């Protein structure tokens, strides 16, 4: 009677190991596919943005060639290229402020406890 129980134990253990390995492989594959999808979406968004900006620049230049009225939009597209730098600076400043607030909050909590 001990022999079938021991055998059942080892069969169950082996089944659990196989299931665990297959689930781990499936999870890893899913994360890999998700990473690929994310990279592809970012690349498509970048190429879309580049194409839109190129068309806008061409339209702006074509409109600017007909008269001097449309020279301002061309300069505004130049400003939009610096906007991500300003946005990144703003994000960095906000992160710094959050860090300062966290330390102040921790200091306040430790003082009142």
pLDDT in tens, 82-97: 555 678 888 888 999 9
> Can you read off the two tokens belonging to residue 18?
């196989």
87 burial type by CB count under 10 A (0-12 exposed, 13-18 middle, 19+ buried): exposed
Distance between CA 67 and CA 46 in Å, rounded? 32
Distance between CA 63 and CA 76 in Å, rounded? 14
Residue 57 and residue 75 in contact, taking contact as beta carbons nearer than 8 Å: no
Mean pLDDT of the chain: 81
The model's pTM is: 0.42
Residue 106, pLDDT above cutoff 70: yes
């Amino acid at each position: 009677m001990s022999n079938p129980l021991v055998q059942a134990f080892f069969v169950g253990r082996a089944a659990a190991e196989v299931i665990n390995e297959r689930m781990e492989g499936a999870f890893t594959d899913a994360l890999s596919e998700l990473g690929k999808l994310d990279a592809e979406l970012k690349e498509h968004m970048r190429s879309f943005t580049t194409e839109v900006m190129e068309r806008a620049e061409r339209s702006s230049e074509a409109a600017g060639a007909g008269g001097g009225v449309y020279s301002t939009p061309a300069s505004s597209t130049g400003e939009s290229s610096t906007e991500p730098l300003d946005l990144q600076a703003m994000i960095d400043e906000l992160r710094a402020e959050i860090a300062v607030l966290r330390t102040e909050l921790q200091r306040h909590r430790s003082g009142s406890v």
